[in-house]
């Protein structure tokens, strides 16, 4: 006899259905697995056999053939244990009615005693099941809340293999997940923009970056507050929409970083150490590529502290994702895509000793040393950073007797969300969510300049030798500044402020002796 079930597999962050077929034939006791199964899938026969024995179920002592279709796509992971076990039970003729098996995606790892254990990547798998026309899924109780994020699907969550057998054999209802049984919680941010004394210009730059989704770099001496400012950026970013939260949750689920959370509702803030490899940053791995830090920053912030300390080869892999918002990883047998629509925020000193530009300490670095240090950041990468700003030390008077009371994150976030709403209305019906994501057609349409603005841009580009990319990024930042003031057109003042945030790509000049 032949038993059939439906399971799922992941290709990058996308799920697809896998048909599982089990044939119980005659001959010596053996178990054959076909369909490009990786190690964990081939080992499932051991877990399944033990689960049958401990659950007091009959495991056939004849020739068992397992086929995973489509047979030309690699299968990896332990999620196939439960559907394989139920397919064997179906092939044994254990079930009186197998209608459920035709409309249900089954996934879950089996313990040796038959308990059903959670797996990663549940959300994209359930989305694939719904897209394929299936109406229910069966998985571990720990995965049920994540699966319930997909509306219109019935979530069955049996505790063990024996419970599956009891319900399916007697044609009874399997245990269902009830929405609201488990609520995801996330830690409340303890940081706030009101913690930062002084630094009004960097705060303004952060607000502009948050309002338009722009990349940003702070350059200045140690202790000026670069890291402190960057760490408070998430507190002023707008809340994620539900579809954005689903995309981020799917990425974290696929990578195994979801933990006990159900839905990631806060924008990610990733801050990898400078010793990270290019694979760790961009993603990859074998046999199945997984998302890297830039994809885990999707719809959030990737913060690279002490930027020149990162290997140059690692930094260069950022160039394509910053431009395309997508990571393409190609291996010998497959090619996958991971979304990477993130804000790059970086900080660095201007020289190895850190005191170049400081008002308090003299720089002791030789010109050629400064040249070598700054050359670690390539021109093309710096060109892709919209806002480049020098940050100076804060005086004692600014710390203890500020001129104005620092604004808290809540008030700044309200202004940011108001500005984002303007952009939402502007780009309604398109995949663009903020000004930073505009392409050339959108720039030409929404970033028109006055005659004075064109004259100013011409003088700046001719004088500073800016690239076309830098020109476009200046216009995007100017559009955001105009949106913050609810202005229809970009004025000369908006343009001048945007140009002021671009001067570091010329101030970071190679120091000559």
CB 300, CB 343: distance < 8 Å: yes
Q: How many residues are given for the chain?
A: 513
Task: Convert the pLDDT of each residue in 240-266 to its tens digit.
Answer: 999 999 999 999 999 989 888 889 999
Check if the beta carbon of residue 320 is closer than 8 Å to that of residue 193.
Answer: no
Candidates 29, 31, 22; CA nearest to 4 is 22
Q: What is the pLDDT of residue 512?
A: 34
- Within 8 A by CB and 6+ apart from 381, the residues are 315, 316, 318, 319
The average pLDDT across 63-88 equals: 93
> Judging by DSSP bridges, how do beta strands 2-11 and 14-24 pair with one another?
antiparallel
Number of H helices, E strands in the chain: 23, 18
Q: How confident is the model at residue 183 (pLDDT cuts 50, 70, 90)?
A: very low
**185 falls in which pLDDT band (50, 70, 90)?**
very low
- Rounded distance between C-alpha atoms, residue 97 and residue 346, angstroms: 59
Give the whole-number percent of the chain exceeding pLDDT 70: 95
Q: Which one has a higher pLDDT value, 81 or 196?
A: 81
Tokens of 416: 């940011």
User: Taking Cα atoms as reference points, which of 452, 450, 449, 426 lies closest to residue 438?
Assistant: 426
Hey, how many other C-beta atoms are within 10 angstroms of the C-beta on 190? 7
Tell me the pLDDT tens digit for each residue of 297-311.
999 999 999 999 999
pLDDT of residue 506 exceeding 80, the answer is: no
426: pLDDT strictly greater than 60: yes
CA–CA dist 121, 258 (Å, integer): 9
Lowest mean pLDDT among 83-97, 357-371, 437-451, 454-468: 454-468
- Report how far residue 229's alpha carbon sits from residue 342's, in angstroms, rounded to the nearest whole number: 18
pLDDT tens for each residue of 186-218: 555 578 998 888 888 999 999 999 999 999 999
SS3 450: coil
**pLDDT(97) > 80:** no
Cβ-based neighbours of 97, under 8 Å, separated by 6 or more: 171
CATH of segment(s) 2-169: 3.30.230.10
Burial (Cβ within 10 Å: 0-12, 13-18, ≥19) of residue 145: buried
Sign of the torsion angle spanned by Cα atoms 65, 59, 115, 101? positive
Mean pLDDT value across residues 319-336: 85
Q: Are the CB atoms for 478 and 355 separated by under 8 Å?
A: no
For position 15, what pLDDT does the model report?
93
56 to 48, 49, 113, 249, 345: CA distances (angstroms): 12, 11, 10, 38, 57
The position carrying tokens 């990733």 is 270
Whether residue 510 is predicted with pLDDT greater than 70 in this model: the reply is no
The mean per-residue pLDDT over the stretch 26-47 comes to: 90
- Taking alpha carbons only, the member of 245, 220, 490 closest to residue 355 is 220
Question: Over the chain, what is the mean pLDDT?
Answer: 90
Mean pLDDT value of segment 56-68: 94
The rounded distance, in Å, linking the Cα atoms of 198 and 58 is: 73
Every domain of the chain and the residues it spans: 2-169, 193-434
The pLDDT confidence band at residue 179, using thresholds 50, 70 and 90, is low
Q: Work out the angle at residue 484's Cα, subtended by the Cα atoms of residues 479 and 485, and round it to the nearest 5 degrees.
A: 100
Superfamily (CATH H level) for 193-434: P-loop containing nucleotide triphosphate hydrolases (3.40.50.300)
Cα 117 from chain centroid (whole Å): 25
pLDDT of residue 513: 33
**In the structure, what pLDDT confidence band is assigned to residue 395 with cuts at 50, 70 and 90?**
confident
d(CA 180, CA 176): 12
Q: CA–CA separation, 366 vs 363, rounded Å?
A: 9
pLDDT band at 474 (very low <50, low <70, confident <90, very high): very high
Nearest to 15 by CA among 99, 109, 119: 119
The sign of the torsion formed by the CA atoms of 301, 302, 306, 307 equals negative
Which of 46-55, 171-180, 300-309 shows the lowest mean pLDDT across its residues? 171-180
So what's the pLDDT on residue 505? Answer: 55
pLDDT tens for 99-146 read 899 999 999 999 999 999 999 999 999 999 999 999 999 999 999 999
């Amino acid at each position: 006899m032949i038993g059939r079930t439906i399971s799922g597999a992941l290709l990058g962050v996308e799920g697809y259905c896998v048909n599982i077929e089990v044939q119980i034939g005659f001959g010596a006791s053996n178990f054959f697995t076909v369909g490009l199964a990786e190690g964990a899938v081939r080992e499932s026969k051991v877990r399944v056999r033990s689960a049958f024995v401990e659950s007091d179920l009959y495991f056939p002592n004849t020739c068992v053939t397992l086929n995973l279709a489509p047979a030309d796509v690699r299968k990896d992971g332990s999620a196939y244990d439960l559907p394989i076990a139920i397919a064997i039970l179906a092939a044994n003729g254990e079930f009186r009615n197998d209608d459920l098996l035709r409309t249900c995606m089954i996934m879950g790892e089996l313990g040796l005693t038959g308990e059903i254990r959670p797996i990663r990547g549940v959300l994209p798998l359930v989305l694939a099941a719904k897209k394929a026309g299936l109406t229910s899924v069966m998985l571990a109780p720990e995965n049920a809340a994540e699966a319930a994020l997909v509306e219109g699907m019935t979530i069955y969550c049996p505790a063990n293999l024996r419970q599956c057998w009891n319900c399916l054999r007697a044609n009874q209802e399997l245990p269902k997940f009830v929405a609201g049984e488990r609520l995801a919680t996330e830690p409340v941010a303890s940081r706030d923009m009101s913690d930062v004394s002084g630094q009004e210009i960097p705060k303004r730059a952060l607000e502009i970056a948050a309002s338009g989704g722009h990349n940003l770099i702070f350059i200045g001496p140690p202790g000026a507050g670069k890291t402190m400012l960057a760490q408070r950026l998430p507190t002023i970013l707008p809340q994620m929409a539900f579809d954005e939260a689903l995309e981020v949750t799917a990425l974290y689920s696929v990578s195994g970083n979801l933990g006990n959370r159900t839905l990631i509702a806060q924008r990610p803030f990733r801050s990898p150490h400078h010793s990270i490899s290019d694979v760790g940053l961009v993603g990859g791995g074998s046999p199945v590529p997984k998302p890297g830090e830039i994809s885990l920053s999707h719809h959030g912030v990737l913060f690279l502290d002490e930027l020149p300390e990162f290997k140059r080869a690692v930094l260069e892999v950022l160039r394509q994702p910053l431009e395309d918002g997508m990571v393409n990883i190609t291996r010998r047998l497959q090619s996958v895509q991971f979304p990477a629509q993130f804000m790059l925020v970086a900080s660095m000193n201007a020289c190895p000793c850190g005191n170049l530009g400081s008002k308090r300490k003299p720089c002791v670095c030789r010109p050629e040393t400064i040249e070598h240090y700054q050359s670690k950041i390539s021109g093309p990468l710096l060109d892709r950073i919209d806002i480049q700003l020098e940050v100076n030390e804060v005086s004692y008077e600014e710390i203890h007797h500020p001129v104005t009371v620092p604004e808290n994150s809540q008030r700044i976030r309200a202004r940011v969300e108001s500005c984002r709403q303007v952009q939402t209305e502007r780009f309604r019906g398109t995949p663009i969510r903020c000004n930073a994501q505009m392409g050339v057609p959108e720039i030409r349409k929404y970033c028109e300049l006055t005659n004075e603005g064109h004259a100013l841009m011409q003088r700046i580009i001719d004088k500073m030798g800016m690239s076309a990319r830098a020109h476009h990024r200046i216009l995007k930042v100017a559009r955001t500044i105009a949106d913050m003031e609810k202005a229809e057109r970009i004025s000369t003042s908006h343009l001048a402020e945007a140009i002021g945030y671009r001067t570091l790509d010329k101030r970071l000049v190679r120091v000559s002796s």
